[in-house]
Amino acid sequence: MSYYSVLDVTPTREDWIPDYIEPASRLVAQHGGKYLARTTSHNQLEGELKEAALRIIIEWPSRQAAEAFMADPLYQPHLQTRAAGSVSHHYLVEGKDDLG
């Protein structure tokens, strides 16, 4: 079953971004992930305003793949850099319909 990482990222500084993109992209792919969206083009249509500079959606083949990516020792320094240089929220969503 597919899982989806949904992230809201607002950089508080931008010096980390150039060194983050390539290794993070490579590691996502190594863990079977695929970027569906990495964009500053987004609009909130409903609810209390939750601003973010960037919205990211990654499709994973399984929960284990997403968790393995997040725990990968090669990703840890990049995750720490992103966390230190941004306000980020990461949600892991199972690709199923519990209501249908």
The reported pLDDT for the residue numbered 88 is 97
* CATH tag, 3-43+51-94: 3.30.70.100
In the chain, domain spans: 3-43+51-94
Q: Is the dihedral of CA 72, 24, 60, 4 positive or negative?
A: positive
Please answer whether residues 60 and 32 qualify as being in contact, where contact means their C-beta atoms are separated by less than 8 angstroms.
yes
Please answer whether residues 1 and 62 qualify as being in contact, where contact means their C-beta atoms are separated by less than 8 angstroms.
yes
**Average pLDDT per consecutive 10 residues, the chain (100 residues; last block may be shorter):** 97 96 98 97 94 96 98 98 97 96
DSSP state string for the chain = --EEEEEEEEES-STTHHHHHHHHHHHHHHTT-EEEEEES-----SSS----SEEEEEEES-HHHHHHHHH-TTTHHHHHHHHHTEEEEEEEEESS-S--
